[in-house]
């Protein structure tokens, strides 16, 4: 059982999903992100895990999926832990040049991501994702940073 590899956990309360999320330490000393969802979301979570695996195999900068399992109540997804900083706070600590460079990196990632073939059966997800993008754009427009021609 993959959960037997977990020696400690710390709850994560940030993020958009309704999953329970934890930073976990594994027996081998590495850290991971454990996501726990209701069993009723099994098919969706399995598809998300498969997509993450596909992206990881294409050398895109995403957390590598490590394990996927379920029990009577929940679906579990374990990913490698990627250190980083909260983007809700980080922009206020960076110069305009640094923010621009990060924006360019994000654009390169999105170019690769958007070049991948899409599974047409997942199109309903578009509405959710569009709402997410709209709120991110609103936050950007409210921020103190702006760039010519944006």
Domains of the chain, CATH where assigned? 2-80 (3.30.200.20), 90-142 (no CATH)
Which residue do the tokens 């969706």 mark?
Answer: 44
Residues shown for the chain: 150
Contacts by residues 104-113 (CB-CB < 8 Å, ≥ 24 positions apart): 109/60, 109/61, 112/58, 112/60, 113/55, 113/60
Residue 81 has a pLDDT of: 96
Mean pLDDT for the chain? Answer: 84
Q: Which residue has the higher pLDDT, 113 or 145?
A: 113
Q: Which of 63, 39, 56 is nearest to 116 (CA)?
A: 56
Residue 60 has a pLDDT of: 84
Residue 149 has a pLDDT of: 66
Lowest mean pLDDT among 55-59, 69-73, 142-146: 142-146
Query: What would the pLDDT profile of 3-15 be if each residue is shown by its tens digit?
Result: 678 999 999 998 8
The mean per-residue pLDDT over the stretch 126-138 comes to 71
pLDDT band at 66 (very low <50, low <70, confident <90, very high): very high
Other Cβ atoms closer than 10 A to 15? 9
Q: What whole-number distance in Å separates Cα of residue 92 and Cα of residue 134?
A: 21
Which of 25-29, 101-105, 146-150 shows the highest mean pLDDT? 25-29
Query: What would the pLDDT profile of 69-128 be if each residue is shown by its tens digit?
Result: 999 999 999 999 999 877 777 767 788 898 899 889 989 988 988 888 766 655 565 666
Task: Kindly report the pTM of this predicted structure.
Answer: 0.72
């Amino acid at each position: 059982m993959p959960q037997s590899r977990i020696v400690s956990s710390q709850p994560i309360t940030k993020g958009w999903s309704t999953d329970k999320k934890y930073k976990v330490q594994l027996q081998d000393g590495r850290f991971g992100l454990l996501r726990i969802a209701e069993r009723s979301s099994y098919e969706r979570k399995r598809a998300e895990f498969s997509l993450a695996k596909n992206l990881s195999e294409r050398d895109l900068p995403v957390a590598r999926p490590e394990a996927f399992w379920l029990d009577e109540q929940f679906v579990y997804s374990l990913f490698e832990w990627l250190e980083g900083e909260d983007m809700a706070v980080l922009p206020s600590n960076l110069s305009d040049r640094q923010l621009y460079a990060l924006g360019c990196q994000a654009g390169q990632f999105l170019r690769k991501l958007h070049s991948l073939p899409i599974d047409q059966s997942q199109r309903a997800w578009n509405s959710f994702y569009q709402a997410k993008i709209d709120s991110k754009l609103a936050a950007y427009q409210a921020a103190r940073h702006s760039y010519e021609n944006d």
